[in-house]
Amino acid sequence: MTTDEPRIRRRVAMVSVHTSPLAQPGTGDAGGMNVYVIETAKRLARRGIGVDIFTRQTTASDAAVVEVEPGVKVRHVAAGPYEGLNKEDLPGQLCAFAAGMMRVAAHAPEGHYDLVHSHYWLSGQVGWLAADRWDVPLVHTMHTMARVKNLHRAEGDAEEPRGREIGEAQVVEAADRLVANTRDEGRELVDLYGADPDRVDVVPPGVDLDVFHPGNRSEARRSVDVPDDAVLLLFVGRIQPLKAPDLLIRAAAMLTRRDPTLRRRLVVGILGGPSGGAVRTPMALDRLALDEGVADLVRFVAPTDRDGLATWMRAADVVTVPSHNESFGLVAVEAQACGAVVVATDVGGLPTAVGDAGLLVDGHDLHAWVDAIESVIDNPERQADLSARAAERARGFAWEVTAERLASVYEAALATPRRASINESDTLAGIPTAVIP
């Protein structure tokens, strides 16, 4: 027990089965969700809500419990072999994971956890069981949804399995409250999964403004070895078809064809590692760069820590977010907080994240993307205006605000009678078409 323990007035069991909040974002299954889980947990603890984060142990060296800061503990649960399991293999380990959670709770006083907050559908299945066992509310955040991903699937990307769709529908029915990143995501929960609109709360994610903030561009460029007069275009994220990093390489090639003099100054940074199916079937971006004649302009950079990421973003002229779908687009907000101009796909949560402080492109037409990028790099006044607006907009997305709203969701869940047992025939029936107000 820490010296700060008496200030904890509530305790939440947060569940993140398939990816640890301690993992480096940008590769494997680690991404924006990891950042969301750890950042909200820290801010909740500072508000007097203790958080135990349950995640799967993936190496023998993982400590059973890691105290991140007073009030926040990461608990590693043994469920299947440490290595060699893909996310698609994890449904078979949910029973083992749930049993591990139950063992932890068995050593705590009765009523130790006031609430369960699960992240992603795999965690929702475990959270459903834990909430029923402990007779506490279940709050669930989807982060991504199979039916949405299948509607916006990238060419060549595998369709999300039917089993995931069913599992998500069950979690939607079981949860006492559903947290959506944006109003559009809330509508998708209602329209595609039949969620009760009265149980859907919109809570936008945040950004760490102590890390991601404007700074001296020249200093940032010296730190990442980019010439001061360069035009730096950046992609940040996991390397997978859904994120479409290949579009930036193709765009760079078209930019140099339109303006051959740009080749002397253009630098393209691809920050991230392979994820999902791209681990087994790599996207071969290096080969694409070679084929497009821009291999000498492209730098592939391994995932970096948050301070290093912020430095790259401060150095950039444009940060591209060409995803086929994003529930929010945390990278876009982090980039804007650094004063970078964001060019993003007009899809999912990206319009909410970017707003009018960046440029939104409809679809993935290469000419449209190159036009948007050119309109920034060829117009210093416009770039400066968008940069200032981006930093100002990002200040409205602080993690402290996210945590405050989550705390209100928790209180609403605790104040409402728990939902009755799930009727499976209702869960898997036709999907209603109500619209969230």
Pairing of strands 65-69, 72-77: antiparallel
Cross-strand bridge partners of residue 65: 75
> How far apart are alpha carbons 261 and 256 in whole angstroms?
7
Tokens read off for 239: 């390397």
**Location of structure tokens 């940032």:** 220
- pLDDT by residue for the chain (437 residues), tens digit each? 444 454 889 999 999 998 888 877 656 666 678 899 999 999 999 999 999 999 999 888 899 999 999 999 999 999 999 887 888 889 999 999 999 999 999 988 889 999 999 999 999 999 999 999 999 999 999 999 999 989 987 777 788 899 999 999 999 999 999 999 999 999 999 999 999 999 999 999 999 999 999 999 999 999 999 999 999 999 999 888 889 999 999 999 999 999 999 999 999 999 988 765 444 445 689 999 999 999 999 999 988 899 999 999 999 999 999 999 898 889 999 999 999 999 999 998 999 999 999 999 999 999 999 999 999 999 999 999 999 999 999 999 999 999 999 999 999 999 988 875 444 444 443 433 333 33
* Topology classification of domain 5-206+401-427: Rossmann fold (3.40.50)
Three-state SS annotation for the chain: CCCCHHHCCEEEEEECCCCCCCCCCCCCCCCHHHHHHHHHHHHHHHCCEEEEEEEECCCCCCCCEEEEECCEEEEEECCCCCCCCCHHHHHHHHHHHHHHHHHHHHCCCCCCCCEEEEEHHHHHHHHHHHHHHHCCCEEEECCCCHHHHHHCCCCCCCCCCHHHHHHHHHHHHHCCEEEECCHHHHHHHHHHHCCCHHHEEECCCCECCCCCCCCCHHHHHHHCCCCCCCEEEEEECCECHHHCCHHHHHHHHHHHHHCHHHHHCEEEEEECCECCHHHHCCCCHHHHHHHCCCCCCEEEECCCCHHHHHHHHHHCCEEEECCCCCCCCHHHHHHHHCCCEEEEECCCCHHHHHHHHCEEECCCCHHHHHHHHHHHHCCHHHHHHHHHHHHHHHCCCEHHHHHHHHHHHHHHHHHCCCCCCCCHHHHCCCCCCCCCC
> How far apart are alpha carbons 264 and 232 in whole angstroms?
12
CA nearest neighbour of 58 among 105, 19, 29: 19
CATH superfamily of 217-394: Glycogen Phosphorylase B; (3.40.50.2000)
User: Which backbone phi and psi does 58 adopt, to 5 degrees?
Assistant: -120, -5
Q: Find the helix packing angle between 380-394 and 366-377, rounded to 10°.
A: 100
Task: Report the pLDDT value the prediction gives residue 2, as an integer from 0 to 100.
Answer: 46
Q: What's the pTM?
A: 0.87
Give the amino acid at 188.
E
CATH 3.40.50.2000 in the chain is located at 5-206+401-427, 217-394
Task: Report the pLDDT value the prediction gives residue 153, as an integer from 0 to 100.
Answer: 79
Task: Report the pLDDT value the prediction gives residue 3, as an integer from 0 to 100.
Answer: 46
